[in-house]
């Protein structure tokens, strides 16, 4: 499961409702939730955040908290 999948599960999000509100297909939401190689686009993250009434910036930070800049040599 992807970080988005974990996030949506933790928030008990109804994915059918998110799909209806955002226009993102349920198949795409499933890909984003289950397939690590599927890339979440910024516009998709923004729409999902609006649909579940969370701050898009906070959602972004939670989903990508493991990203770090490489250390300089």
Residue 37 lies in a domain: yes
Mean pLDDT by groups of 10 residues along the chain of 73 residues: 95 96 97 96 97 96 92 86
The pLDDT value recorded for residue 70 is 93
The pLDDT value recorded for residue 45 is 97
Q: What is the domain extent for residue 10?
A: 3-63
Average pLDDT of the residues of the chain: 95
Question: How much is the pTM?
Answer: 0.89
The pLDDT value recorded for residue 72 is 86
- Rounded to whole angstroms, the Cα distance separating 50 from 38 reads 21
The pLDDT value recorded for residue 60 is 95
**Total domains present in the chain:** 1
- Specify the CATH number for the domain of residue 12: 1.10.260.40
């Amino acid at each position: 499961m992807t970080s988005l999948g974990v996030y949506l599960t933790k928030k008990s999000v109804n994915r059918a409702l998110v799909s209806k509100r955002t226009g993102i297909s349920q198949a795409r939401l499933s890909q984003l939730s289950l397939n690590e190689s599927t890339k979440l686009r910024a516009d998709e993250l923004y729409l999902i955040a609006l649909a579940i009434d969370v701050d898009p910036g906070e959602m972004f930070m939670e989903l990508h908290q493991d990203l770090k800049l490489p250390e300089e040599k």
